[in-house]
Amino acid sequence: MTSTSTTSPAGVGVSPRRRPARRRQPLQRKDTRAALLFISPWIFGFLVFTAWPIIQSLYLSFTDYDVLTDAKFVGIDNYLRLFEDPKVAQSLGNTLIFAVIQVPALMIVALALALLLNQAGKRSAGFFRTVFFLPNMTPPVAIGVLFLLLFNGNQGLVNDALGIFGIEGPAWTTDPGWVKIGLVIMSLITVGGSIVILLAAIRNVPTDLYESARIDGANFWQQTTRITIPMISPNLFFVFIVTSIASLQTFTEAYTAFSNTDTTAGFSNNGALFYVVYLFQQAFSFLNMGYASAMAWILFLIVMAITAIQFAVSRRFVYYEGEQS
Amino acid sequence: MKTSLLRMSAVAAAATLMLASCASGTGGGGGEATYDPDATLEGTLNITGFTSTTDEIASTRYDLAVAAVGDGVDVKSDESGFDIQSFLAAVAGNSAPDLIYVDRTTIGTLAARGAIEPLEACLTGEGIDTGAFLKTPISQVTLDGDVYGIPEFNNVNIVIADTTLLDAAGASLADVDGSNWDALTDFAQKTAVVDGGAVSVLGYDTKMPEFFPLWAKANGVDILSADGKTANLNDPKVVEAVEFATGVYESEGGFAAIKAAKDASDFFGSGNQYATNTLGAMPMEQWYANVLSDVSPDAALDFTTFKSPEGDVVSYSSGSAWAIPAGSSNKAAACRFARTMTETDSWVAAAEARVAKYADSGSLFTGLLTANTEADAEIQDMVGTPEGNFGNAIAATYEANDAAFTVAGNPADSEFKTAWTDAINRVLGGEATAQEALDQAQTEAQDALDSAWADFGN
Amino acid sequence: MTSLPTVAPALALQGDGGNLGAAPRPRRKPVVKRVITTTLLVAVSAIFLYPFIWLVSASFKPREEIFDNSLIPKTFTLDNYVSVWQDAPVALWLGNTVLVTVLAAVAVTISSAMVAWGFAYYRFPGRNLLFGLVLATMMLPAAVTMIPTFLIWNNIGLTGTLTPLWAQNLFGSAFYIFLLRQFFLSLPRDPFEAAKLDGASHWRLFRSLAVPLSKPAIVVTLLFEIQASWTDLMKSLIYLRDSATFTIPRGLKTLLDQFGFGGERHWEIIVTASVITTIPMIILFFIGQKQFIEGIATTGSKG
């Protein structure tokens, strides 16, 4: 078998092309029922916890509801208010800026470290890969705490370290202008997951490609950009999508660091007021469930739009080996 | 087959959806209660927002209150700070606590949502005289003539200064008590030490954004009308006050650097800013004097009242209050508990406990402001007028207590506070000028007030 | 690309891949290159690990020294580890978190495996469409369903309890369904055909054949969900009220509020609690490190 497919030839999920498509055996219907029985937990969960909530949140977005009193239909008022609410604009801006900084940063660092690991011997690579992945296990709450402590403008470790090089570090945790960058830098510590994915992908690139390139006189940089990156582009794309979606919904670290649950007015750094944080405040601190639902739908549309754009753009840049189209 | 299976799933899901019915209101009342100071009470009393173990002032009264409700009542306190989000979620889930202890500025929002109830019946039933309380705390918890909370503690502002730094700058206490803004800025600039973008000595801490109402009032303006209905955040004198107070920060290294320094400081410990001579002066709530006398009694300190540029004593009154949730299951016990916590005898007992404790450790008792005028008078007698700078703290405290003002109670108090806090933060962060920020705050606040008062009537 | 040497498919089948460095190349790997590589790796590792070393070190310092940023504590003290249990119900929090985590992980593994099996083994009309729907749910922002889900639990009366934190896992989760399906797809079909001929029921095929063969994937699922559940903050913020019911991340947040900036600046408590929150995850990692890494690698490569 010289198939280039990556699944075993006689696998469980064997391709339908191996059987005549039209022949419908009596076995098929029993199969269907069994399959649906197995899938039924998900179907139930989907209907109750996904489909219904989607519909209800759309409905709520047209109401004024604070849980203590009945919902009041208010038409598109919430959406109009959304467009006028300076905090929505601010939080959306904060989130987009954050994502635009964080996603490339994470991807570049992940790629760079994966390439670096690839240069190392196997055992040493394995060891360092573990080291890089370890911080991923840290609870995001603890990351939020670490951010507050390490990046404190006065006594934090980061500014101390910068001071050794004679650099005057900004007040990362209190200056709205720097807090996003500070949060991005802190988040780089959790790049281990992406490194693992990219390293595995890099290792799968056939060596002979590099051989031919080397014979043709290509240097390391050219090999990387002309061979490695295109060959791992599906994985890069995967990391890109996953990181973007997560980045647009960033919540825990900023909420931990800057919101004070004792006071409703408590969010101490507007530079870190991200969209989901503000949404959360509206929903659960102010009990403006209708308004928060409208915010959620706007987020949904934005995420879908961005993902669609990413997929469209990927057609040009992502190379799927062995793809029929 | 497949369709019938899907049909079954759909039916099951629909059944669940019936449970999770369309958005209906859940904030039901806990029913009526009768209040009788002689009745024997029973049941459980779940208290949220109060920590009884902070100090003897809290624990003494707590023990008395537990005794007052009697053995039949099982008193449970969750011993953590009040979390408005958890509370509202509890009310929404029909599992409201029976008694809550909250900041007085939260009362309005809670009352507006019907989460807490007017205390008329409780007050008359258990014989609590609102006249016995200081006017400003009562006004904070009164909406439309109904009292929603029983005040506990009154925090007022005094000015605490580091005399070493005062002397070094050739300044006097009068220069930093707010009666001379130019002298204040002068002192701040002379004293502040900024090196490498980090603030190592802070000259003057204007405590923005928290003390915004104080600075506005010092410049002659009430940010909210006495009836709680009209906001006044962008009055030119308010803008002027904000420009001044935030400007002081600018001249000392900028707010971001200052806040970073404050965050990392050992505020409540023996390494506090006064003990380490890293703060020149600031207005502060009077209870901090007690902390200082406890952890760093030998620090070079002096105290005075905060004053307006005209020389009048100005002091912002704040504090906590006991409130009874509408869904409380034991209102009778809640009322009696709150009554005992705030009555004169309990306060006096607490003060005596503190005197005893301080006699052992040698610390000085710098007074206690209870919001209960009778208790205040008795405790003031106990404290006396000791010599020395901490004696000045005591004098300043009681003088400020008499002159205190506050922001009137209103059903949009969280939105109101959020509006001006955000505005000040914008100015501090350099995102807007004082005028722009306050204009925005004024619109937001007035809108919130208008809609909250409109809903409140219904 | 039809003339790939036989090395390629072999490499591709292993999630971990072979080592490019050991490919047929004369052994003239320059020492300089290796030294540079290793130095860089060590330097970067130091940066990655330093915050945690700092954290652990700080937990052994008294309050005044927390910010002195020295790696070895000038004053080594175990006081924090004693007082943190007293200042807050940390033991309770740990217990709650363990309970929720175990329930969540077990529930999601069983249900996702079932659902994944349904998609992997059987063919039925609309299968791909339905699976596409499963995948699509991964893209749904949590914020959209957050409020109505809260309302559902509220109406059932279970807000304030730990149930909402794990009960949804009884219905499978798209990510694990995807992961497990991938794995099931790679199993050989013959044993199942044989068992069917012997009269095994559908459930039997799943339970007694597929599941035992899938131990690695199941372990990966368990480990991932343990980590996700342990570290979750949002659900605990939404549903938990009484501090006795808190999970560890929620508890840490409370400590930060109480003892952090707004509160008494007891950094030593916060730092110690952070260590306590993180250590179990580190231990978990070392136990299941191979599975974690392989699991992630597999996801990424089939994505």
| Chains touching chain B, criterion 3+ CB pairs below 8 Å | A, C
CB B372 within 8 A of CB B347: yes
* Same domain? C163 vs C294: yes
Per-residue pLDDT of chain B (458 residues; tens, 9 = 90+): 455 555 565 665 555 555 445 556 665 555 677 888 888 888 899 998 898 887 889 999 999 999 999 888 999 888 777 877 778 878 877 788 999 999 998 899 889 888 899 999 999 988 888 888 999 999 999 998 899 999 999 999 999 999 999 999 999 999 999 899 999 999 999 999 988 778 889 999 999 988 999 999 999 999 999 888 999 999 999 999 999 999 999 999 888 889 888 888 888 888 889 999 999 999 999 989 888 888 888 889 999 999 999 999 999 999 999 999 988 999 999 999 999 999 999 999 999 998 888 888 777 888 889 999 999 999 998 888 888 888 888 999 999 998 889 998 899 888 898 889 889 988 988 888 999 999 999 998 998 899 889 888 75
CB A171 within 8 A of CB A269: no
Architecture per CATH, B157-316+411-454: 3-Layer(aba) Sandwich (3.40)
- Count residue pairs from A and B with Cβ separation < 8 A: 156
Cβ <8 Å between B20 and C159: no
* Same domain? C63 vs C158: no
* Same domain? C150 vs C55: no
**Given the structure tokens 């039949």, which residue do they identify?**
B72
Kind of pairing, strands B142-143 and B301-305?
Answer: unpaired
pLDDT of residue B458: 59
**Res. C100 pLDDT band, cuts 50 70 90:** very high
* Same domain? C158 vs C298: yes
Task: Examine domains B2-153+319-351 and B157-316+411-454 and report if their fold is the same.
Answer: yes
* Same domain? C68 vs C198: no
Q: Which of residues 30-89 of B touch C (CB under 8 A)?
A: 78-81, 83, 85-87, 89
- Tens of pLDDT, residue by residue over A63-113, are 988 877 778 888 898 999 899 888 899 999 999 999 999 999 999 999 999
Domains and CATH numbers, chain A: 25-78 (no CATH), 80-317 (1.10.3720.10)
CB of A236 within 8 Å of a chain C CB? The answer is no
Cβ <8 Å between B266 and C63: yes
Paired with B303 in beta bridges are: B160
Cβ <8 Å between C159 and B271: no
Cβ <8 Å between C243 and B78: yes
pLDDT of residue B11: 60
List the single residue in B9, B82, B417 with the smallest CB-CB distance to A44: B9
Mean pLDDT score, A264-270: 65
Domain segments of chain B as ranges: 2-153+319-351, 157-316+411-454
**Residue A7 clears pLDDT 70, i.e. is over it:** no
pLDDT of residue C20: 44
CB C235 within 8 A of CB C143: no
Structurally, chain C folds into a number of domains equal to 2
* Same domain? C34 vs C132: no
Q: Which CATH class is domain B2-153+319-351?
A: alpha beta
- What's the gap in Å between the CA of B176 and the closest CA on chain C? 25
- Last residue of a domain, which of C63, C82, C101? C82
- For C53, the domain range is 4-9+16-82
> Distance between CA atoms of B409 and B281, rounded to whole angstroms?
31
Residues in chain C: 303
pLDDT of residue B436: 92
- Last residue of a domain, which of C47, C82, C117? C82
* Same domain? C66 vs C101: no
Cβ <8 Å between C67 and B86: no
| Chains touching chain C, criterion 3+ CB pairs below 8 Å | A, B
CATH number of the structural domain spanning residue C94:
1.10.3720.10
- What's the gap in Å between the CA of A21 and the closest CA on chain B? 20
pLDDT of residue B370: 92
Contacts of residue C238 in chain B, CB cutoff 8 Å? 89
Q: Which two tokens stand for residue C212?
A: 């035992």
CB of B21 within 8 Å of a chain C CB? The answer is yes
Q: Which of residues 146-175 of A touch C (CB under 8 A)?
A: 146, 148-150, 152, 155-157, 160
* Same domain? C120 vs C97: yes
Mean pLDDT score, C259-282: 82
> Distance between CA atoms of B279 and B168, rounded to whole angstroms?
13
- Last residue of a domain, which of C55, C82, C109? C82
Mean pLDDT score, C128-149: 90
Contacts of residue C63 in chain B, CB cutoff 8 Å? 266, 269
CB B213 within 8 A of CB B407: yes
The whole-chain average pLDDT of chain C stands at: 82
Cβ <8 Å between A135 and C51: yes
List the single residue in A11, A42, A48 with the smallest CB-CB distance to C189: A11
CB of C46 within 8 Å of a chain A CB? The answer is no
**Res. C25 pLDDT band, cuts 50 70 90:** very low
Within chain A, residue ranges assigned H as helices are 26-45, 52-60, 77-84, 86-119, 122-133, 140-150, 157-164, 179-187, 192-203, 207-215, 220-223, 229-231, 233-248, 252-258, 275-280, 289-317
pLDDT of residue B99: 95
Distance from the first to the final alpha carbon of chain A: 23
* Same domain? C157 vs C115: yes
pTM of the model: 0.83
> Distance between CA atoms of C121 and A14, rounded to whole angstroms?
9
Mean pLDDT score, C277-286: 88
Highest mean pLDDT among A250-264, B35-49, C260-274: B35-49
Cβ <8 Å between B19 and C157: no
Report the chain B residue with the minimal C-alpha distance to residue C155: B20
Contacts of residue A125 in chain C, CB cutoff 8 Å? 19
CB of B22 within 8 Å of a chain C CB? The answer is no
Cβ <8 Å between B79 and C67: no
Report the chain C residue with the minimal C-alpha distance to residue B47: C242
Q: Helix or strand or coil: residue B194?
A: strand
* Same domain? C43 vs C129: no
Contacts of residue B88 in chain A, CB cutoff 8 Å? 67-68, 284-285, 287
Contacts of residue C257 in chain B, CB cutoff 8 Å? 81
